[in-house]
Amino acid sequence: MTFNPRGSVQDGLDLLAGRLNIIIPAQLSASLQGLEWTIILRELDSAKGYANKQYSPLDLQAQLRMLTERLGGLGYPFDDPQTRIVSTLGGELRIMRNRWAHGHELNELDAWRTHDFVVRLLEHFNDGEGLALAEKLRLTALEEVARESGVATSPVSGDAVVPVEVTTENDPVDEQIEPAPSSEEVTPDPSMLVRMNAAETPRIGAARSEFEAWTVVPVGDTSVLDDLPKKAAKEQVRAVAVEIAEFEGPIHIDRLAELTAASFGMNKLHIKRRGQLARQIAASGLRVDADKFVWPESIDADTWAEFRPNSSDVDRAFTRISPVEIRNAARFVKEGNPAVSRADLESMTLQTFGRKRRTAQFVKHLARALDG
């Protein structure tokens, strides 16, 4: 029988969805108290200001969100905080699921990588029954990779996927260059970390969702970026960008381009490559606003009222925070203190995003947000 890479990927994703529908409720049984686990996602959406949505417990996209996102006060109940292996593998699978769901071209190596990620996840959860099936799928795909490349089948490595450290190089004309943060750690005021709609999220708590950076892991090499005029390369790049935007959005298009490039082994971007990636992001169907921020489908940019605080040790330049998000934070400050002065409003807003110094860039970006 002829090997069908797309069908093989579907088999692996279907297997994973069936196993996760057993694993997820078992791990959260104490918090769920007999309720379906998807209620956690609905509460998380409420906390993040996402549009209301119903979820199926067999929806792999929803399951992978459970594995890769902080679940409010529940934290990362499926992961080891030291290795974050579940989040890392889950991020890889989010991208592959996206490619499969949108009918992208898939090959034998894509099938093998998918099954390898599934095997490693099920190994982590000690799911012997699912693991035996996943290993068979992985071996079949590996044999096809070997046959296509004309080499002998190599032993399958069980090494963990290593996250990529992003060390991007800004262009000389890049307006986003910021001074190095102060050595003094700046943390948001505790009042900014508690939501007003806490009653809507009894299982995940009242804490506001703070900003968390996407964990970059390799999904291909730089040859994919070199092949961008080709359809397959475009599809791979867009799938990565969409998942990063869904995780971090709203996200500045330059940051999204950098994180996407890093996923393909390119950690320094110059003007031409940045422009190529920006065009692919715009062509992915994601909304890019006038301030060059990219919005995921889960957020309505016109009605979103949330914000994500962060301390100064978090990798997020202040000038790469959406003016909408900054405006939302300032509105929250004013609601708690209607008589606050402009100077204090600006100071508290800066502090909410881990900043203290009033540099010319920060003041300009604040004005764009507060007066816009």
pLDDT tens for 8-43 read 999 999 999 999 999 999 999 999 989 999 999 999
* Band of pLDDT at residue 83, cut at 50, 70 and 90: confident
**Is the model's pLDDT at 150 over the cut of 80?**
no
* Band of pLDDT at residue 195, cut at 50, 70 and 90: very high
CB atoms within 10 A of CB 295: 21
What pLDDT, on the 0 to 100 scale, is given for residue 136?
A: 97
DSSP string spanning 343-360? HHHHHHHHHHTT-----H
The pLDDT of 228-250, averaged and rounded, is: 95
What pLDDT, on the 0 to 100 scale, is given for residue 100?
A: 96
What are the tokens at 179? Answer: 């001074």
What pLDDT, on the 0 to 100 scale, is given for residue 198?
A: 84
Strands 287-288 and 293-295: antiparallel
What pLDDT, on the 0 to 100 scale, is given for residue 165?
A: 56
Q: Is residue 249 left, alpha or beta, with left meaning phi > 0 and alpha meaning psi from -120 to 50?
A: beta
Percent of the chain exceeding pLDDT 90 equals 83
Distances (CA, A) of 61 to 32, 101, 239: 20, 10, 13
Dump pLDDT digits (tens) for 92-144. 999 999 999 999 999 999 999 999 999 999 999 999 999 999 999 999 999 99
Q: Tell me the domain boundaries of the chain.
A: 5-149, 190-370
The whole-chain average pLDDT of the chain stands at 91
Dihedral sign for Cα atoms in the order 131, 136, 140, 143: positive
What pLDDT, on the 0 to 100 scale, is given for residue 273?
A: 94
What pLDDT, on the 0 to 100 scale, is given for residue 80?
A: 84
Dump pLDDT digits (tens) for 253-312. 999 999 999 999 999 999 999 999 999 999 999 999 999 999 999 999 999 999 999 999
What pLDDT, on the 0 to 100 scale, is given for residue 84?
A: 86
HSE value, Cβ hemisphere, 13 Å, CA-based, for 354: 22
Q: Which residues pair with 287 in a beta bridge?
A: 295
Percent of the chain exceeding pLDDT 70 equals 91
**Is the model's pLDDT at 176 over the cut of 90?**
no
Dump pLDDT digits (tens) for 155-168. 455 444 545 555 44
Q: Which residues pair with 288 in a beta bridge?
A: 294
What pLDDT, on the 0 to 100 scale, is given for residue 155?
A: 47
What pLDDT, on the 0 to 100 scale, is given for residue 171?
A: 46
